[in-house]
Structure 1
């Protein structure tokens, strides 16, 4: 967001960037942000199992970062290299408004993600009915409407008089608009995000403890376990097995463990995304008001440039975080980079993707679910594999 770096550049148009922020570095950074966010969007669009409401918010975040990378960063880099604005007053106002809109949309998307994760962790079994595709799309439209409302003020005249020199381009420093945009673009969403993730932590800790005790009891008391499941008859086999036991699989502790562990893992991944966003933008929103209200506390120009571009740097972090934190995104990224948009049909295992029982390959889903459960029970060092030993279970390979 550009509230505005030119405040520190007005007195010296010819000041050049330090060597580590030269043209080649900025170009590489912008190119990586563009390509990375395109890959994120294609990963969800081209992989059916990733098309879930949670990932709609991730796509929206990627779209905001992509729009920022296309329409704002190239001109910000040009301004840094030249030391002055060369595109005229009208385009300066539009550019500044788009900058505010994209950055606001990013943090509001993260705010929506935090609320989504709270619902997913607190009501993991009811999540598919609470967060539908239609509700997710309406939430995303609300994000962009609110972002537009916050950013459009200066275009409608809510700004201080423009500088006489068209080579000076800055977002208005009109006090009331600066306060309004700072609260709406950062501080209020930040408070919501922190409250939601504190609630996620409390609920996850309590639910983990309850399910940990319940799953060990249920698994050890169980007298039979379906050992061979084929993708074609998984519905029938699961239904018959659960019917013979006298309860629906959705009511079993093991199923609740499976669902909750996946929601918890998604919350951790998106928590990293939120944390990095705050880490990148918080220094800017601390330095900006302090420097505006107390000139003596204004940081040196070189330091402010680093703080300013640190916020922009966040646009290329998410394409790194997703594949590092999520195996599903990692596999999707690899397929996109190999130009393989459609998944192959493979043997599948019990994996519930909110509405279907046939999602995910057999071997990968079993491995991922066991790893999720192992992570889920890591607090007491009790894993599903150790329960197998306690209960005397044996596993066999899937039917060929």
Structure 2
């Protein structure tokens, strides 16, 4: 009875059951799934602990963000929160797809045929590509808010934000499914495939890695330009003619310091979580990796999941308005009076916002909120 698979797929699927690690005479060719299952038992336990801890936490955090934004009409109208929703959706996918596929392959040594494996890998690729792409949209949103404050609401409408998100996810899905659609290692006699991912062609890996590096570079440039302008504002507005900071200058300096700390933390976390993984991928494209490098990559790849776990804390739960909606939602669930509680909260907050406008200006949430606060404070002064 035939298996219905091509000869090269049969070799890749079953060679780990009957042959040693390398099934050809060329040591540079890796046609055995055991070439990728390199973790020892202590390493499996360590990585399994990270996945089983970070995976559920990431899922619950991002689901919570999506529920809060979906339940608030006010948040759904703001482009900034639409981009945060896209980020939370991508990180929710990452918590599911990455954890399941990574644990199945590295911890339980579950070998699949090419199409099934590439379908699982496509889910992971889609999640992380969508996550980094959503981070880029968020960075561009903040850049426009800072450099085009007066025209921000005209340049970035809700419709344009939705179109940008739809475009991002269409491109992300297409890129993620390219290996499944045929961009893969065709036969076992081809030049070596990736030593990090079975069935994955080096050229596709180079393409995806290069794309992520470009996106991360654009995010870095956007935040660097914001920090540069913030420093200029601090120098220009901090010390007036009499040598003492004005109320307006003090408010702006507090805002700039807050933004600088936030953006510096964002860039640091991006670098720590993504540069090790992308660097090893580029090395894999240029040379044949050893087992020790494959083990290092397995550990570094969990940092991408950690990044998805941290994103809600950086981009969503730091927002005062979203935290308020979250507390109101909890209160509504507890009291079983959803409509009444929301009305009471909104009425109370509307009066409190006018009373504490100057205080809130010094601790902006999203950049769009900081721009609105800044304009309101200028009008008050």
TM (norm. structure 1) is 0.67
* Alpha-carbon distance in structure 1 between the residues aligned to 2:35 and 2:127: 25
Given that 2:58 and 2:308 are in contact with CA atoms closer than 8 Å, whether structure 1 keeps it comes out as: yes
CA distance in 2: counterparts of 1:28 and 1:104, whole angstroms:
22
The one-character-per-residue Cα deviations of 1:157-200 (angstroms, maximum 9, x if unpaired) are 11113679xxx99354423222211122x111112112111211
Single out whichever of 93-102 and 172-181 deviates more from structure 2: 172-181
Question: Which of 93, 104, 117 is the aligned partner of 2:129?
Answer: 104
> Shift of the alpha carbon at 1:66?
0.9
| Residue 361 (structure 1) aligns with | 350
Change in CA separation of 1:315 and 1:274 when aligned onto 2, cut-off 3 Å: same
Aligned to 1:389: none
How big is the shift at 1:259? 9.8
Aligned to 1:202: 228
Q: Which consecutive unaligned segments of at least 5 residues does structure 1 have? A: 1-5, 221-252, 350-359, 376-392, 394-400
Q: TM-score, normalised by structure 2?
A: 0.70
How far residue 152 of structure 1 moved from its aligned partner, in angstroms, is 2.2
Out of 166, 180, 205, the position equivalent to 1:141 is: 166
Residue 91 of structure 1 corresponds to 116
Could you tell me how far apart the structure 1 residues matched to 2:94 and 2:170 are?
17
In structure 2, the residue matched to 1:276 is 269
| Range with bigger deviation, 296-305 or 113-122 | 296-305
- CA drift of 1:371 comes to 4.6
**Alignment partner, residue 151 of structure 2:** 126
Counterpart selection for 2:204 from 177, 183, 186: 177
Report the count of equivalent residues: 322
* Partner Cα separation in structure 1 for residue 208 and residue 86 of structure 2: 21
Q: Distance in 2 between matches of 1:285 and 1:15?
A: 23
Alignment correspondent of 1:353: none
The answer to whether the aligner puts 1:39 opposite 2:64 as a matched pair is yes
Report the Cα offset of residue 57 of structure 1.
0.7
1:8 to partner: Cα distance? 9.3
Residue segments in structure 2 that go unaligned for 5+ positions in a row: 1-30, 190-194, 365-380
SS of the residue aligned with 1:159?
coil
Inter-CA distance 12–74: structure 2 relative to 1 (3 Å threshold)? closer
RMSD: 4.0
Shift of 1:311: 1.4
> Conserved in 2, the CA contact under 8 Å of 1:291 and 1:298?
no
More deviation, 18-27/54-63: 18-27
Could you tell me how far apart the structure 2 residues matched to 1:23 and 1:298 are?
Answer: 19
Separation in 1 of the partners of 2:88 and 2:316?
A: 14
Q: Which residue of 2 aligns with 1:306?
A: 299
Following the alignment from structure 1 to structure 2, what is the Cα–Cα distance between the partners of residues 91 and 11?
16
Shift of 1:281: 1.4
Shift of the 314–9 alpha-carbon distance from structure 1 to 2, 3 Å rule, reads farther
Matches of 2:161 and 2:256, distance apart in 1: 17
In the alignment, the residues of structure 1 paired with residue 36 and residue 216 of structure 2 have an alpha-carbon distance, to the nearest angstrom, of: 34
Q: Report if the CA contact (8 A) 1:14-1:82 is conserved.
A: no
The answer to whether structure 1 residue 191 and structure 2 residue 217 are counterparts is: yes
Show CA shifts across 1:260-306 (max 9, x none). 98799678646644542332111101122224424477744543321
- Which residue of the other structure, out of 61, 76, 85, is the alignment partner of 1:59? 85
Cα distance change of structure 1 residues 80 and 331 upon mapping to structure 2, 3 Å threshold: farther
Judged with a 3 Å threshold, the aligned counterparts in structure 2 of structure 1 residues 366 and 22 are, in CA distance, closer, same or farther, namely same
Q: Is the 8 A contact 2:274 2:303 kept in 1?
A: yes
Give the distance between the partners of 2:146 and 2:199, measured in 1 at CA: 41
Shift of 1:153: 1.7
CA distance in 1, matches of 2:150, 2:250: 10
Per-residue deviation, residues 332-384 of structure 1 (Å, max 9, x unmatched):
333444555663335869xxxxxxxxxx4332564364253389xxxxxxxxx
